[in-house]
Amino acid sequence: MTRITALSRPLLAWAAAHSALGTGCALAGVPLFGLGPHPAPAAWNWAAVAVAALVAAVLLARHRYGERPAFRRTLIAAAALCLASGFSLLMDVLMLLTGSLPAGPAAAAHHALGLTGAVLLAINTRTRKPTSGTPAPPAAASPRVHLVALVGAAAFLPYATMKTVWAFGGTFAGVSGAEVLEVSRRNGASGVWLALEGWGLDPTVLFALVGVFLLFGLVRPWGQVFPRWTVFLAGRRVPRWLPLAPAVLGAATLVPYGLLGSGYLILAGLGVLDLPPGDFRTGEDALLVSWAGLGAFAPYGLALAVAAHSYWRRTRPLAPARPASVPAPGLTPRRPVPPAPIRTRR
C-alpha cells in the first residue's frame, strides 16, 4: 500500500467538487452539456458524476495496490473526457466580459472544472521525474517552428481587419460599426467594453494581440529571460509554467472549438445545415463574419501547441555532468596496466 501523494489530494478534491456539481444539477434539472445550440437533457449530467467517481476509484486503488499500467491508461482517458467537456471555457470568459453567458453559470463552472481536471490528471499520469540540473541557455526555436508561429499569428488578420473596420465606424458584411456597438449595448456588455469600442479599440482584438505576444514569446529567447523593458525583472529567468500554462490551456480550448466551428461552417456553406442570420441581414453575411472569427481559432491553437512543445523541450534543465572520478553505475574502475619492460640484447 502506498500513501496518497501530494499530487493526488487536489485531484481527489476535484473529483468531489465535480461529482457534487453534476449531482446537484442533475437533481435540479439544470443541464451541463449542450447539443449544438440547444441544451442537452439534464440526465446527461450523471456522466460527469461517473467520470469523477471513476477518477476517485482509480486514485484509491492506486493508493492500495500501487502503480499499474491500467490505472494510468484510465486516468489518461478521463483527462481526454475532461478536456472535451471544458474546451469552451475560453469562449465563456469572452462572453462574460461582454456581460452575457449563454451557457449559464452551471455550465461555465463545469467547463472550468473540466479543464482543471484535465490539468490535474495530466500531472498525475506523468511517470518521468523532471531532470534536476542547470537551466538551459536561452535559445530560439527552429525555423520551422518560427514559420508555424507566423502562420498562426497571420490567421488573426481577417478577424482583426473586420473588428478594426467596425471600431472606426466602417461597414463590414452589411453592418456598420454603430450597429455593432448598439448590439453590444443591447446584449448587456460592460461599461469598460463599450468604452473601449467607443475609442476604436475592440477588446477581442486586444486579446488577439496578447495571444500573438504569447506565441512569439514561446519561440524567441526573450520568452525565457525577462527582457530589459521589464525593469525590475530584467535578466531573471522566466518560470517555465508562466508561458506554458496559458499556452496549453489556450491550445486545448481553441483547437477543438475551431475545428468543430469550422466543420459547422463548412456544412452551413454547403447548405447541409442552416446558419441563422442573427444580427446580420442575411445568412451569407453571418457566414462571412463567422469565418473571419472562427477561422483563426484552429490555426492559432495548433501553432500555440507546436510553440509550447518547442518551448518545453528547449527549457528543460540540463542534466548535471557526471564527475570524471566517479565510475558509471555497475562498473568498477580497472587498475592501470603497467607497461611491459623493454628488453635489450646484450
Grid cell listed for 6: 501530494
Confidence band for 303, pLDDT divided at 50, 70 and 90: very high
At position 324, the amino acid (one-letter code) is A
pLDDT digits over 133-147, tens only?
677 788 888 999 999
Q: How far apart are CA 209 and CA 201, in angstroms?
A: 12
Q: State how far Cα 224 lies from the chain centre.
A: 19
The average confidence (pLDDT) of the chain is 81
Would you say the pTM of this structure is higher than 0.85? no
**In 10 A of CB 29, how many CB atoms?**
10
CA distances from 76 to 46, 88, 131 (A): 20, 20, 23
Does 328 have pLDDT greater than 70?
A: no
Domain segments of the chain as ranges: 8-124, 143-314
B/e letters for 277-295, b = 16+ CB within 10 Å, e = fewer, are: eeebeeeebbbbbbbbbbb
Q: State how far Cα 262 lies from the chain centre.
A: 19
274 DSSP 8-state letter? -
Any alpha helices (H) in the chain, and if so which ranges? 8-28, 45-65, 69-86, 89-97, 105-124, 143-154, 157-167, 177-186, 191-198, 203-219, 241-269, 283-294, 297-314
pLDDT digits over 160-207, tens only?
888 888 888 888 888 888 888 787 777 666 677 777 776 667 777 888
Q: How far apart are CA 198 and CA 236, in angstroms?
A: 39
Return all residues near 197 (Cβ < 8 A) that are at least 6 apart: 167, 180, 181, 184, 189, 203
Average the pLDDT over 246-270 and give the result: 85
pLDDT digits over 226-248, tens only?
888 887 888 888 888 889 888 88
Least confident range from 2-11, 33-42, 228-237, 305-314: namely 2-11
Q: How far apart are CA 147 and CA 200, in angstroms?
A: 31
Q: How far apart are CA 217 and CA 163, in angstroms?
A: 25
